[in-house]
Amino acid sequence: MSVMVVIRFPVAHSAVVEWASKNGELLDPIVKLFEKHKRISHRAVTSDSEFLDFDEWPSAEAYAAFKAEAGPYIEKFEAAFGHRSTDTIYEVVE
């Protein structure tokens, strides 16, 4: 059963976009790991002070494997903003 992972990051999305435009090499490994671990879909929503990512994964185990491998890269991303993200896993119901 697929899962939806909601990731909350307490930084304005515009700041992340600006940072990403200058630091793509730090995000490239994460993007490759999305593909390796078969992320199904991605959506994002934002406000002035935070953004949320909605990522669908084949299973909680697939997400856990991604997160374990991507952890060092995610930590570098978070360190650039001085904030940590939080994630919550939900089962997708049809």
DSSP string, 13-73: HHHHHHHHHH-HHHHHHHHHHHHHTT--EEEEEE-SS-EEEEEEES-HHHHHHHHHHHHHH
pLDDT band at 82 (very low <50, low <70, confident <90, very high): very high
DSSP state of 77: H
Q: What digits encode the pLDDT tens for the residues 4-55?
A: 999 999 998 889 889 999 998 988 999 999 999 999 999 999 998 999 999 9
pLDDT band at 76 (very low <50, low <70, confident <90, very high): very high
Q: What is the CATH number of domain 6-91?
A: 3.30.70.100
pTM score, two decimals? 0.89
